[in-house]
Amino acid sequence: MLSKQQLIEYSEEARKNYVNHISIDCVVFGFHEGQMKVLLLKTNDEEKWYLPGGFVLNEEPIDTAADRILKERTGLDKIFLQQFRVFGDPDRSKVHNDMYAGMLPKEENWFSGRFISIGYYALVDFFGVIPHPDQFSELCAWRDLDDMPEMQLDHENIYKSALDALRLQLNYQPIGYNLMPREFTMPELQKLYETILDKKLDRRNFQRRVLGFGILNRSEEPRKGGAHKAPYLYSFDMENYQNALTEGFKGGW
Amino acid sequence: MLSKQQLIEYSEEARKNYVNHISIDCVVFGFHEGQMKVLLLKTNDEEKWYLPGGFVLNEEPIDTAADRILKERTGLDKIFLQQFRVFGDPDRSKVHNDMYAGMLPKEENWFSGRFISIGYYALVDFFGVIPHPDQFSELCAWRDLDDMPEMQLDHENIYKSALDALRLQLNYQPIGYNLMPREFTMPELQKLYETILDKKLDRRNFQRRVLGFGILNRSEEPRKGGAHKAPYLYSFDMENYQNALTEGFKGGW
């Protein structure tokens, strides 16, 4: 929470530089070897946690704003961020309205009004991220998806919606670039899907379906070494992968 | 275009009642027996056309705002509207900024600033709709998707993005309720998909995939009459249909 003096300074800057009534909230899912985490922030005087978020500069495209916010929190450039939904309940800003009510006249108080928030999600390898707290927070940290803390505002709803969107995305867009090594086996890719969906998948159905997407190249030589039958190695066909990111797996029809 | 007096009155009302910097644009696709249309508006003094749109009341959830705007334009209640993307380019409001620049001091002029627009789309039977122009327009009309007029602002981009989103949706969510009669044949349903995708589909692949979604009930008796082999009749299983609308065809994995 901001002190009165901080609120005065922040409000003045914000009212000058940002588009009022719009915010951005980012759900960054981190994956590494079968584990899924979410990047969260905690302020020093509140018990609950926040998703990383921020505002849109007056002359800034919204996707650029999301990139900027994420870069500040993660150090990562060019994360593939997807808009997934807008959160526009009139009461969603009430906690902040109340928290700062009376500290400043309403028309000068950045947190006196309603904020409609654009939700973005991303999926990254959490080993590559160095979390940075923002000016309001003492902590920026990965939390396990199956052991999430209590969330402030409507942020529980936002990360759950993002997870639904990510799971839906498995049906119509490719996933896994930046999470897999350059070459990987079919069981390694299946593990990623199983972790996101939080369930076991049938090996043969998975292989048939993923190959049907047309985004994988199979190496001619199976992986060497090991006592068992050597598995084939796959890599992403980046041209088809990029096309499917923009257009989806339309080939299905 | 508003006259100066109209702009003064509109701006005063809008600044009092609506959330600034946020707008809603709706892409209403109309389907009927193999034809696809889009609902558009035209003002009396501009050559280009608009998508139906509007603003969000101070205390109104955004989805309710979209419903209200659509009801005013179509007379239809409870259209299934889907948020599909936010349009947040800083220059997208420039045409309106310029059109009304100088008519009113900037801080009083509703159209002096930037609007970030939430895009919604819907798919309806165009035979059930009576289009109503809004206060800015002389015309509200269905236009053929393959013969669209020049569009104002970024509205061409918005309806094309909506079409992409609708086509993607065919991969992960059901479609067709309210467009099909209560009972329909497989070729009738296939025609809907072919019209949206603007391409011919293979009959057997279509049938296998659609049945795999688990949203259809087949009647025990084939349709009677006709010289040819009587086709089976299908209807939507509304419980599975509703589940798949919220959760997607997750069963795929």
Encode pLDDT of B151-183 as tens digits: 999 999 999 999 999 998 888 889 988 888 889
A49-53, A212-216, B4-8, B134-138 — which is least confidently predicted? B134-138
Range of the domain at A13: 4-169
CB crowding B201-234: b at 16 or more within 10 Å, else e: beeeebbebbeebebbeeeeeeeeeeeeeeeebb
Is the distance from CB of B51 to CB of B69 less than 8 angstroms?
Answer: no
Domain match, A40 and A130 both:
yes
Which residues in chain A touch residue B62, judged by CB atoms under 8 angstroms apart? 86, 88, 116
Which residues in chain B touch residue A164, judged by CB atoms under 8 angstroms apart? 247
Instruction: Check residue A41 and give its pLDDT.
Output: 94
For β-strands A82-87 and A35-43, DSSP reports them as unpaired
Is B149 within a domain? yes
The tokens for B215 are 């949203």
Instruction: Check residue B33 and give its pLDDT.
Output: 85
Domain match, A23 and A100 both:
yes
- Specify the higher pLDDT residue, A12 or B1: A12
Which parts of chain A register pLDDT below 70?
223-228, 250-253
Domain match, B46 and B157 both:
yes
The tokens for B105 are 């001091």
Domain match, A61 and A160 both:
yes
Which residues in chain B touch residue A193, judged by CB atoms under 8 angstroms apart? 253
Is the distance from CB of A250 to CB of B167 less than 8 angstroms?
Answer: yes
Instruction: List, for residues A201-234, the tens digit of each pLDDT value.
Output: 999 999 998 998 899 999 887 766 666 677 899 9
Domain match, A98 and A145 both:
yes
Domain match, B59 and B164 both:
yes
Q: How far apart are CA B177 and CA B27, in angstroms?
A: 18
Is B66 within a domain? yes
Q: With an 8 Å Cβ cutoff, are B171 and A252 in contact?
A: yes
Q: Which one of B97, B166, B171, B198 makes the best mutation probe of the A interface by having the most chain A beta carbons within 10 Å?
A: B171
Instruction: Check residue A46 and give its pLDDT.
Output: 86
Taking the CA of residue B247 and the nearest CA in chain A, the distance in Å comes to 7
Domain match, B84 and B145 both:
yes
A214: left (phi over 0), alpha (psi -120 to 50) or beta: left
Instruction: Check residue B178 and give its pLDDT.
Output: 83
Nearest chain B residue to A163 by CA distance is B247
Is A107 within a domain? yes
Q: Please check the confidence at residue B228 and state whether its pLDDT lies above 70.
A: no
- The answer for residues whose C-beta is within 8 angstroms of residue B129's C-beta and 6 or more apart is B28, B30, B39, B74, B75, B76, B142
Is A177 within a domain? no
| Amino acid identity for residue A181 in this structure | P
Domain match, A156 and A214 both:
no
Q: With an 8 Å Cβ cutoff, are A22 and B22 in contact?
A: yes
Q: How far apart are CA A66 and CA A68, in angstroms?
A: 5
Is A175 within a domain? no
The tokens for B79 are 């259209």
A32-46, A96-110, B7-21, B215-229 — which is least confidently predicted? B215-229
- The answer for residues whose C-beta is within 8 angstroms of residue B86's C-beta and 6 or more apart is A62, A83, A86, A118, B116, B117, B118, B119
Q: With an 8 Å Cβ cutoff, are A61 and B168 in contact?
A: no
Which residues in chain B touch residue A86, judged by CB atoms under 8 angstroms apart? 62, 83, 86, 118
Query: What is the domain count for chain B?
Result: 2
Is A180 within a domain? no
Which residues in chain B touch residue A116, judged by CB atoms under 8 angstroms apart? 19, 22, 56, 62, 118
Closest residue by Cα to residue A117 from A155, A64, A67, A156: A155
Domain match, B120 and B240 both:
no
Among B169, B200, B229, residue at a domain's last position: B169
Q: Which one of A15, A16, A22, A167 makes the best mutation probe of the B interface by having the most chain B beta carbons within 10 Å?
A: A22
Q: Hey, is A250 helix, strand or coil?
A: helix
Instruction: List, for residues B76-110, the tens digit of each pLDDT value.
Output: 887 889 999 999 999 999 989 999 998 999 989 99
Taking the CA of residue A146 and the nearest CA in chain B, the distance in Å comes to 20
Instruction: Write the CATH number for B86.
Output: 3.90.79.10
Q: With an 8 Å Cβ cutoff, are A88 and B56 in contact?
A: yes
CA torsion A174-A178-A183-A184 (nearest 10°) is -70
Instruction: Check residue B58 and give its pLDDT.
Output: 96
Which residues in chain B touch residue A20, judged by CB atoms under 8 angstroms apart? 20-21
Of B86, B114, B252, the CB nearest to A171: B252
Instruction: Check residue A179 and give its pLDDT.
Output: 87
Instruction: List, for residues A27-55, the tens digit of each pLDDT value.
Output: 999 998 889 999 999 988 888 999 999 99
Which residues in chain B touch residue A63, judged by CB atoms under 8 angstroms apart? 88
Q: Hey, is A238 helix, strand or coil?
A: helix
Domain match, A213 and A122 both:
no
Among A169, A200, A235, residue at a domain's last position: A169
Domain match, A147 and A209 both:
no
Instruction: Check residue B195 and give its pLDDT.
Output: 94
User: At CB < 8 A and 24+ separation, what contacts does B218-226 make?
Assistant: B219/B183, B223/B183, B223/B185
Give DSSP secondary structure letters for chain B: ---HHHHHHHHHHHHHHB-TTEEEEEEEEEEETTEEEEEEEEETT-SSEE--EE--BTT--HHHHHHHHHHHHH--SS---EEEEEE--TTTTHHHHHHTTTTS-GGG-GGGS--EEEEEEEEEEGGG------TTEEEEEEEETTS---BSTTHHHHHHHHHHHHHHHTTTS---TTTS-SSB-HHHHHHHHHHHHTS---HHHHHHHHHHTT-EEE-SSPPP-SSSPPPPPEEE-HHHHHHHHHH-SGGG-
Instruction: Check residue A228 and give its pLDDT.
Output: 67
Domain match, B76 and B195 both:
no
**What is the average pLDDT score of chain B?**
90
The tokens for B121 are 């789309």
Return the percentage of chain B with pLDDT > 70, whole number.
96
Among A126, A144, A169, residue at a domain's last position: A169
CB crowding A37-54: b at 16 or more within 10 Å, else e: bbbbbbbeeeeebbbbbb
Is B178 within a domain? no
Is A176 within a domain? no
Instruction: Write the CATH number for A212.
Output: 1.10.10.10
Q: Please check the confidence at residue B252 and state whether its pLDDT lies above 70.
A: no
Q: With an 8 Å Cβ cutoff, are B197 and A88 in contact?
A: no
Q: With an 8 Å Cβ cutoff, are A56 and B116 in contact?
A: yes
Q: With an 8 Å Cβ cutoff, are B22 and A116 in contact?
A: yes
